[in-house]
A and B are shown apart, each in its own frame.
Chain A
């Protein structure tokens, strides 16, 4: 049982309107996103899937406010996003935890930057989230003492602690072993149901997307566009190894393969 109840922020609705982005890479112009539009309702779990170079991570960075769109805009509850904000927290493939701080201080890092919290409150909140991710016994540990899965849990606690409305996840489980990953799928779904957030989750892994997402958005590269969307109507918590889920991921993988085939034909 959680001893204290931290009030949860209402999750926000995201509108991505005609977003385009070019950048130069290796002397070539890359058309990362081409007029991408997407509506995400509040509390929805959306997975973005596609091959490398389809612009899904770029879109995530634009929503985070870390990059600017060349054209179009992203609205969070009607307000345009121009810079990073505590209402949108991000998880990266590498946990990006600070090795000079212990686990608790890492979670406190994001809270110290949030105004209006007394020292005692910050400590309570940090411990609450460490407990939520199941690491309350490790608050004094240093980062190098944790396993890969534990590190991502701490990163999740750190991202949840300032109580964001949106959680942006950029392949957070890609570097973990299969067993740890499966466990984290369960935990993430649990946490998402307890602390309802709008989640945008970028991945290469179709099965992972089908397991986690209410909706799977398929991207195609060069230029980055949305090709197809799939609603995943399965009860939660979902098991990555279930037969129903396999059916969804087969359909999505087939669509992904067809697109890739068509594109190679087009370019030939």
Chain B
């Protein structure tokens, strides 16, 4: 309880500092709107439905693309760890592409898919895929070889060893990779949404960009707050359960 109060005091303090700067008129009120006007914008956008539908559009792109990236990346990472030829080829490619900022996929995606949902999905998948492959591969390679040997003497072979020993043993690395993949996917999607308007759906990135074009700072700051909030919630819902599981079983935090 005491902790919650401290946390609330901290954030109330931040808002108070913001309000103080607003009163002090350090910057133009167009550039620094008051917390109240940002709140008023968010309230209005929530009431007329623009905020809700933007959140749905963005989250749908993000979750679909992320799921596809995981579904492709996990098995590919296992394969690069298992076969040297795949590691020398696909593994190297993944390493190279992981260093490419995923927003660099946006022009290519637009030319290939046009201004469609597919282009957005493609960018998110490219953001997720490579780091998941690399983390899975890395996780499998870091497993103590005694695990596989012990499993072998107990009669575990082939697919059983992969599913029951190697995959769970690599889990701490895989979860780290999933988190990184999520972060990359989120960043690349925002970049894509700001960069290009797609008529099939206006995401949070479009709202942010609209705010800039209209010189509406309350909208810009309001949407940024929403993005921050979604990031926090996603971390709590998607990754905290995994991290708790790992801490309980492995006894270490990742």
Chain B residue at minimal CB-CB distance from A110: B154
- A90 pairs with B150, CB closer than 8 A: yes
Q: How large is the interface on A (under 10, 10 to 19, 20 to 34, 35 or more residues)?
A: 20 to 34
User: Which residues of B141-161 are within 8 A (CB) of A?
Assistant: 144, 146-147, 149-156, 160
- B154 pairs with A94, CB closer than 8 A: no
Total contacting residues, chain B, CB less than 8 A: 22
- B149 pairs with A89, CB closer than 8 A: no
Inter-chain CA distance A145–B248, complex, in Å, is: 10
- A100 pairs with B249, CB closer than 8 A: yes
Contact of B147 among A64, A96, A114 (CB under 8 A): A96
Chain A positions within 8 Å of B, measured between CB atoms, are 64-66, 84-86, 88-90, 92, 94, 96, 98-100, 109-110, 113-114, 142-145, 158, 162
Chain A nearest CB: distance from B25 CB in Å?
Answer: 57
- B149 pairs with A98, CB closer than 8 A: no
Inter-chain CA distance A84–B149, complex, in Å, is: 9
Chain B residue at minimal CB-CB distance from A99: B250
Tell me whether B78 is interfacial, beta carbon within 8 Å: no
Chain B nearest CB: distance from A111 CB in Å?
Answer: 9
Inter-chain CA distance A192–B152, complex, in Å, is: 24
Inter-chain CA distance A86–B156, complex, in Å, is: 10
Inter-chain CA distance A90–B147, complex, in Å, is: 12
Inter-chain CA distance A158–B251, complex, in Å, is: 21
- A84 pairs with B153, CB closer than 8 A: yes
- A142 pairs with B147, CB closer than 8 A: no
- B251 pairs with A66, CB closer than 8 A: no
- B150 pairs with A142, CB closer than 8 A: no
Contact of A66 with B149 at beta-carbon distance under 8 Å, contacts A99-B249, A113-B156, A142-B249 already known: yes
Chain A nearest CB: distance from B123 CB in Å?
Answer: 34
Inter-chain CA distance A22–B119, complex, in Å, is: 56
Inter-chain CA distance A84–B154, complex, in Å, is: 8
Tell me whether B165 is interfacial, beta carbon within 8 Å: yes
- A142 pairs with B248, CB closer than 8 A: yes
- B146 pairs with A96, CB closer than 8 A: yes
Chain B positions within 8 Å of A, measured between CB atoms, are 144, 146-147, 149-156, 160, 164-165, 168-169, 171, 248-252
- A142 pairs with B152, CB closer than 8 A: no
- A100 pairs with B251, CB closer than 8 A: no
Chain A residues whose CB sits within 8 angstroms of the CB of B168 once the complex forms: 98, 100
Chain B residue at minimal CB-CB distance from A97: B150
Chain B residues whose CB sits within 8 angstroms of the CB of A94 once the complex forms: 144, 146
Task: Give the secondary structure class of A's interface.
Answer: loop
Inter-chain CA distance A66–B148, complex, in Å, is: 11
Contact of A144 with B154 at beta-carbon distance under 8 Å, contacts A66-B149, A98-B169, A100-B169 already known: no
5 pairs from A and B in contact (CB 8 Å cutoff): A84-B153, A89-B154, A98-B168, A100-B171, A113-B155
- Among B144, B153, B252, the one with the most A-chain Cβ atoms within 10 Å of its Cβ is B153
Chain A nearest CB: distance from B144 CB in Å?
Answer: 7
- A114 pairs with B155, CB closer than 8 A: yes
Contact of A96 with B150 at beta-carbon distance under 8 Å, contacts A113-B156, A114-B155 already known: yes
Inter-chain CA distance A218–B168, complex, in Å, is: 40
Extra 4 A-B pairs, beta carbons < 8 Å, given A64-B153, A109-B154, A158-B154: A85-B155, A86-B155, A96-B150, A162-B155
Chain B residues whose CB sits within 8 angstroms of the CB of A99 once the complex forms: 169, 249-251
- A92 pairs with B155, CB closer than 8 A: no
Inter-chain CA distance A197–B225, complex, in Å, is: 67
Chain A residue at minimal CB-CB distance from B148: A96
Contact of A113 with B154 at beta-carbon distance under 8 Å, contacts A98-B168, A100-B168 already known: yes
Chain A residues whose CB sits within 8 angstroms of the CB of B171 once the complex forms: 100
Chain A residue at minimal CB-CB distance from B152: A84
Inter-chain CA distance A84–B171, complex, in Å, is: 27
- B146 pairs with A92, CB closer than 8 A: yes
Inter-chain CA distance A99–B246, complex, in Å, is: 9
Chain B residues whose CB sits within 8 angstroms of the CB of A110 once the complex forms: 154-155
Inter-chain CA distance A64–B146, complex, in Å, is: 13
Chain A nearest CB: distance from B226 CB in Å?
Answer: 37
Inter-chain CA distance A143–B250, complex, in Å, is: 7
User: 6 nearest interchain CB pairs?
Assistant: A144-B251, A96-B150, A113-B155, A110-B154, A96-B146, A100-B168
